[in-house]
Amino acid sequence: MQADVVVLGAGIVGISVALHLQKRGRSTILLDRRGAAEETSYGNAGLIQKEGVYPYGFPHDFGALLRYGLNRTIDAHYHPSALLDLAPFLWRYWQHSRPARHAEIAKRYATLIAHCVEEHDALAAEADATQFFKRNGWFRVFRTKEALDLRLAEAERWHKEFGLAYRALDAAALKAEEPHLAPVLVGGLHWTEPTTCNDPHGLAVAYLRRFEALGGRYVQGNAATLEVEGTGWRLTTAQGPLSAGAAVVAMGPWSDMVTRSLGYNLPLAVKRGYHMHYRAAGEATLNHPVLDTERGYFLVPMARGIRLTTGAEFARRDGMKTPVQLNRAEPIAREFFPLGERLDNEPWMGSRPCTPDMMPIIGKAPRHRNLWFSFGHAHHGLTLGPVTGRMIAEMVTGETPFVDPTPFRVDRF
């Protein structure tokens, strides 16, 4: 097999890269060891986060650090055996999360986030996939007035700095919007601009089908076999050897399997997360994704049922599955919203690829010709897939990228 470009990794980012390349007339092969979007892109809260200008940072207040240190929370959990390995990453992550540095990062990160909804809309229209979207935003709800006031003040600052739209909800307004939530809430914050997706896996597969309709090919193979061949690349697939003029590494948390073998020591770590689906009990309905802020879990209406998602688990990427956060969250969530029986045989787990400065790696590899990196999107892979896909395709084809890629370059570390 031969192609102009091979894209390694068929999550939402890799699929978007491949689709944008194929649209620009580059014969493209998309390669993964599994089926498309069956890893990290399969399970998330389904948010295309137009409001997500501040990537998720490491907390700096003493109360949060103490809670996390006790390792009993829903929003964060860690494997003690992995802490020694993770310590260098966590130290740099903590440094980049300092308020002044975090604010600088947000200004750069916002250049990506600003385009997330419109770029998804463009691909979804081409892929006949708009049925996966809802346009009513998501809710952050609060049990205490102190937490509500803090987050509303933050939202107002973001509105002034980035133009983000939001709505403040008192208890009565929140009850009118979500009548089946328990009456323990003092109010909420409604982010009105994000798009929500009721089946992230289905959306990614729809984009893949569009890629194939344009002449792209999806094959299974081992990305770790990537090696230089003249001015291009060669690797092994289930259908035989593959040669390509250029390669794009978009393997999410597994990207270092390729980058390390090529001599790049990039600070990539993972935050693992879990989900479970439930039937809504009786006639109960959930109209928006809802974050129970003080407890640290999401409830999201999905095509399969109500999805309960957890926060971050700091562990080795391939460490044993430990869904303790899900087990902590479920009884609280059942009191919060009338959940019925579980719909999945076991909890799903995925790994988010993270960098210490919370920004993805997007751009040309500095020491190899015709090699490009596109990974490290952390919590915003779904949000930024099409934005990143367009940027990489424009760089590969020699166009001027519609977003300045400089802040996301590989050699910033």
- Is the pLDDT reported for residue 401 higher than 90? yes
Residue 107 lies in a domain: no
Could you report the per-residue pLDDT of 12-44, keeping only the tens digit for each?
Answer: 999 999 999 999 999 999 999 999 999 999 989
Residue 175 lies in a domain: no
- Is the pLDDT reported for residue 64 higher than 90? no
Could you report the per-residue pLDDT of 68-125, keeping only the tens digit for each?
Answer: 888 989 999 999 999 999 999 999 999 999 999 999 999 999 999 999 999 999 999 9
Which DSSP category does 279 fall into? E
**Domain containing 403 — which CATH number?**
3.50.50.60
Residue 262 lies in a domain: yes
Residue 219 lies in a domain: yes
The whole-number pLDDT of residue 303 equals 97
H or E segment to which residue 241 belongs: strand 240-249
Q: Are 245 and 370 contacting, i.e. CB atoms less than 8 angstroms apart?
A: yes
Which DSSP category does 408 fall into? G
Residue 108 lies in a domain: no
Could you report the per-residue pLDDT of 305-327, keeping only the tens digit for each?
Answer: 999 999 999 999 999 999 999 99
CA distances from 138 to 46, 50, 120, 203 (A): 10, 11, 17, 19
Measure the CA–CA gap between 8 and 252, rounded to whole angstroms.
10
CA angle 300, 303, 305 (to 5 degrees): 60
Which residues make beta-bridge pairs with 28? Answer: 5
The whole-number pLDDT of residue 67 equals 84
- Is the pLDDT reported for residue 62 higher than 80? no
Contacts of 53 (CB under 8 A, 6+ apart): 106, 109, 110, 113, 158, 162, 164
Residue 217 lies in a domain: yes
Q: Mean pLDDT, to the nearest integer, of 283-298?
A: 97
Which residues make beta-bridge pairs with 3? Answer: 244
- Is the pLDDT reported for residue 66 higher than 90? no
- At residue 70, what is the residue type? L
Residue 333 lies in a domain: no
Of residues 282, 291, 286, the one with CA closest to residue 301? 286
SS3 of residue 57 by DSSP: coil
Q: Are 332 and 297 contacting, i.e. CB atoms less than 8 angstroms apart?
A: yes
CA angle 71, 273, 183 (to 5 degrees): 75
The model's pTM is 0.96
SS3 of residue 292 by DSSP: strand
The strand pair at 166-170 and 187-191 is best described as antiparallel
- Is the pLDDT reported for residue 288 higher than 90? yes
The strand pair at 290-292 and 217-229 is best described as unpaired
Contacts of 327 (CB under 8 A, 6+ apart): none
Q: Are 31 and 235 contacting, i.e. CB atoms less than 8 angstroms apart?
A: yes
Of residues 306, 330, 292, 362, the one with CA closest to residue 147? 292
Q: Are 380 and 318 contacting, i.e. CB atoms less than 8 angstroms apart?
A: no
Residue 224 lies in a domain: yes
Of residues 139, 137, 141, the one with CA closest to residue 184? 141
Measure the CA–CA gap between 218 and 209, rounded to whole angstroms.
10
> Whole domain around residue 400: which residue ranges?
2-41+201-267+357-412
Give the gyration radius of the chain's Cα atoms.
21
Structural domains counted in the chain: 1
Q: Are 234 and 1 contacting, i.e. CB atoms less than 8 angstroms apart?
A: no
- At residue 381, what is the residue type? G
Measure the CA–CA gap between 16 and 41, rounded to whole angstroms.
12
